[in-house]
Chain A
Amino acid sequence: MLTVAAACRLGDFTLDVSFRSAHRRTVLFGPSGAGKTMTLQCMAGFLVPPRGYVAIGETVLLDTERGINVPPWRRRAGAVLQGDALFPHLNASANVTYGMRRVWRGREPTRALALLAAVGLPGYGERRPSDLSAGERQRVALARALASDPRALLLDEPFSAVDAPVREQLRRDLIALVEARGLPAVIVTHDFDEAHVLGELIVVLVGGRVVQSGAPADVAARPRTATVARLVGAANVLSGRVVGWEDGTAVVRAEPFLLRVAPSTRGETVQICIRPEALRVGPAAGDRATEAGGVEARVLQVLPRRVGATVLLAAGGTQLEAWLPGRPPAPGTLVEVSVPDGAAHALEPEDEARAAEVTR
């Protein structure tokens, strides 16, 4: 169990976050400048917010109301900072031994080698940080953090400096390590793919606030605001107007579609998100009647994906993005686009989402 709340001001940036996670792997996700790193620093104790609360498991590390502020060196927060920050004057083994606690006295070198082997670097003890690749350095940093017997692992953009294939492997190894050791981990990233792979819970930060938190699939499927929708790659955000109500759901005209959604507010206008992978695209109806709710669109551009393709469509004055699994239609052709039930949901205005967020 992990509880974090922090409110502080730095220049003209205001951080006011609050979240709770019962999961082992929690991801702080958001664009750069959203306050992810600041939140992590509050957890590690590098930054002390005027109002805040941090607890890992049963241990309260910060509670400004009760005047508790455990200094960073007693928090044992196992921080792995952006860009690994290995000690350049120490070799890999000495880096790992560095934070070992007294109970390991006399056994440090053996344990360092074992930990290096555990992160996939057997026999790397003598290497200097300058002789290691970015991925290897990141692994040493991980071993070093584990060696300090931390309460949790705090990882700030851990794999941002690493090439894509290595990153993939590092992600898998990180998940395996965290699971094997039963350590809670908090991972900061601005990459939704990474958040999706690493997180059991994703906490989305925008502008210093938590705008959404949930399981990766839920965040991907139902982003709460237009900003989150854009961040998770749900590209189709349409402005709509409520034209009627039927059994508690609103009938919304969002050009070019007429959709039924459940908006959170009773306003006149509402923003609609349609996930690109949910859009249904078929051959143009031609003379026969279009499917219920289907509209005609022209294919503008086709961008191959590893499986299927991203297809950009023009339907009336609206540009739509669809991710199609099979063989995509050729650019220029006419197609019919429809929105299956449940593929569209109403977004909340940016401010409402903020107010609705739970506070401690």
Chain B
Amino acid sequence: MHNARGGRQQPAAPAALCTRGRVKYTGKAMARRTASDTIDAPFRADADSRLAGRPHAGAAEAARASRRLPAILAALGAVLVLYLAVPFLVGFTSLDRADTIAAARDAISAGAVGVSVATATLSTAIALVLGVPLAYILARGDFRGKALVAAAVYLPLVVPPLAGGLLLLTVFGPRGILGGWFDARNIQIADAWPGIVLAQVFVAAPFLIVAAQVAFAGVDPALERVSYALGVPPLRTFLRVSLPLAWPGILAGLPLAWLRALGEFGATVMLAYHPYSLPVYLFVQFGAQGLRAALPIAAILAVLGIAALAAVRAAGGVWAGRRP
């Protein structure tokens, strides 16, 4: 064992070379190889690659040739990629610099950027705290009515957000069943930031729940059973095994939910026209002043979106790197 360990720290160079273009050695196979290859490594490495039926040079080309893909698929894909990217290129290259800076300043001073970032973050946090347990129950639970609960998660996706906002009004509107109760206690939901958050949670939560559910389903149930057998009860098992193992998948769902919340317009405009969130502000500016005034706001949304994705990527890297 110690032998193998030493061998792995300093793998023989030829052995490393001949792995290129072939199936990557697993740590174990590598350890076994290098441990036995210490004496005549160059010769053995060479013989090995010949045995594998591929000479040293050209192995990479051979691998590439075997991966040649049908041209028609590439062509179809290219059409879509162009269609997706071109509006960004055309739209954002036509931006006037002074106009954009002015518009951004306006959007910030109107509070739309702050409102959008804050509400989207709060909505995502709410969806995370309530959605992760729900996702775990859906992934692991075995109870009557589970199919109904699972279907309920998809309900916000089956109606257009505008219709969703209408439905939310029946509950949280001034005359809605809960809205009236809050209204009587001077808590404003509709046409206030709580309304924006409610609308965003409604449309964004399913993305997070589905991502988390898939992540939990990917955790081997045997690990949870082992944890029980080691004397760790279910809640602590969830926190120490299931959640850490599902976390990368949940993390991948976070920006999806956050972006969905940030861009939420339909339900928001029904439930909380004020204070302006960015999409509503964009709509208002477009109506009042036209494309030139609205385009910079779209740019702000795009920049926020890219920043969010980049932040989560970076966080994911940190997460993967700091495992104990």
Contact = CB atoms under 8 A, between A and B. Distances in A.
A72 B324 CA distance: 27
Interface string B278-321: 00000000000000000000000000000000000000000000
A245 interface: no
Contacts of A75: 229
Contacts of B229: 44-46, 72-73, 75, 77-79, 145, 148, 154
Nearest to B244: A89
Contact of B232 (A45, A82, A88, A98): A98
Given A90-B324, A91-B324, A94-B324, A85 B231 contact: no
B214 interface: no
Nearest to A126: B324
Given A79-B225, A81-B225, A85-B226, A99 B324 contact: no
A71 B237 CA distance: 14
B241 A87 contact: yes
B185 interface: no
A136 interface: yes
Contacts of B144: none
Given A87-B223, A88-B245, A89-B245, A98 B228 contact: no
A78 B226 CA distance: 8
Nearest to B247: A89
A83 B234 CA distance: 22
A98 B230 contact: yes
A144 B323 contact: no
A79 B230 CA distance: 7
Nearest to B230: A99
**Residue of A45, A79, A101, A136 with most partner-chain B CB within 10 A:** A79
Interface in B1-23: 1
A81 B224 CA distance: 11
Interface residues of B, number: 24
B233 interface: yes
Nearest to B1: A136
A76 B27 contact: no
Interface string A42-59: 001110000000000000
A340 to B, nearest CB: 48
A74 interface: yes
A75 B324 CA distance: 29
A131 interface: yes
B222 A83 contact: yes
A14 interface: no
Contacts of A333: none
Nearest to A81: B222
Nearest to A130: B27
A46 B240 CA distance: 19
Interface in B186-234: 220, 222-223, 225-234
Interface string B239-280: 011001100000000000000000000000000000000000
Contact of A46 (B1, B31, B225): B225
A138 to B, nearest CB: 13
Contacts of A121: 1
A133 interface: yes
Contacts of B323: 89
Contacts of A90: 324
A76 B223 contact: no
A73 B28 contact: no
A241 B290 CA distance: 103
17 contacts: A45-B228, A45-B229, A73-B228, A73-B231, A73-B232, A73-B237, A77-B229, A81-B222, A85-B222, A85-B225, A87-B223, A87-B226, A98-B230, A98-B232, A99-B231, A133-B28, A154-B229
Given A73-B227, A78-B229, A81-B222, 14 more contacts: A46-B228, A72-B225, A72-B228, A73-B228, A73-B233, A74-B231, A81-B226, A85-B225, A94-B324, A99-B231, A99-B232, A101-B231, A121-B1, A145-B230
Interface of B: 1, 27-28, 31, 220, 222-223, 225-234, 237, 240-241, 244-245, 323-324
